Amino acid sequence: MTTRTSERVMIFIDGSNVYHSLRAHFDRRNIDIGRFCQKLVGRRRLVRTYYYNAVVGQKEEPGRYARQQNFFESLAAIPYTELRLGRLVYNNWPNTPPYEKGVDIQLATDMITHSYKDNYDVAILVAGDNDFVGALQAVKDNGKNVEVALFGKGWTSMQLRNVADRVINIDGRFLRNCWK
């Protein structure tokens, strides 16, 4: 596949997916998001990176909250990167783990909105949730190209793989020079 340096690229990252995938596949989480995104973009022009996550409860998990805030501060230092936040819902904590609200729909909405505003030529989705298939198809139907960056084996997230114009497999070789 030939990429054109004039292609405008936006990256949409499901932060929770990246965090859990790094932990599961590499037993570490200390990725340099700026280097990682530059590797995804290659020689094309990065317009913006959107990083989606949910804020950990300060009262419920003070240590994790502090670490997350430090990470968010490091994201703010990366040029052309925006943090988009949903929330974590704590019901029956600590017996039941919290769950995210508003993150996936915000990511899908932003991807589609920027597509229709013609803010990019290529959308790169870093996520493994098949719920994004409809959003990716809407972006393609608007004449844009979509790439999906996935962790794991070739049989994972088959619906995302099938809808994508290009699949980027995130493995140890891809992540070389992307660690802090």
User: How confident is the model at residue 2, as a pLDDT?
Assistant: 58
Task: Look at residue 1 and tell me whether its pLDDT is greater than 70.
Answer: no
User: How confident is the model at residue 155, as a pLDDT?
Assistant: 74
Residue 180 belongs to some domain of the structure:
no
Residue 1 belongs to some domain of the structure:
no
**DSSP code at position 166:** E
Q: Among residues of the chain, what percentage have pLDDT more than 90?
A: 92
Residue 2 belongs to some domain of the structure:
no
154 compared with 10, residue with greater pLDDT: 10
Domain ranges, residue 124? 8-175
pLDDT digits (tens, 9 = 90+) for 132-142: 999 999 999 99
Let me know: does 111 contact 125? Beta carbons within 8 Å.
yes
Residue 136 belongs to some domain of the structure:
yes
Structural domains in the chain (count): 1
User: How confident is the model at residue 90, as a pLDDT?
Assistant: 97
Residue 17 belongs to some domain of the structure:
yes
User: How confident is the model at residue 34, as a pLDDT?
Assistant: 96
pLDDT digits (tens, 9 = 90+) for 28-81: 889 999 999 999 999 999 999 999 999 999 999 999 999 999 999 999 999 999
Task: Look at residue 3 and tell me whether its pLDDT is greater than 90.
Answer: no
The strands making up 45-55's β-sheet, listed across from edge to edge, are: 99-101, 81-89, 45-55, 8-14, 122-126, 145-151, 166-170
pLDDT digits (tens, 9 = 90+) for 99-135: 999 999 999 999 999 999 999 999 999 999 999 999 9
Residue 34 belongs to some domain of the structure:
yes
* CATH number reported for the structural domain that contains residue 24 in this entry: 3.40.50.1010
What residues does 147 pair with on adjacent strands? Answer: 124, 166
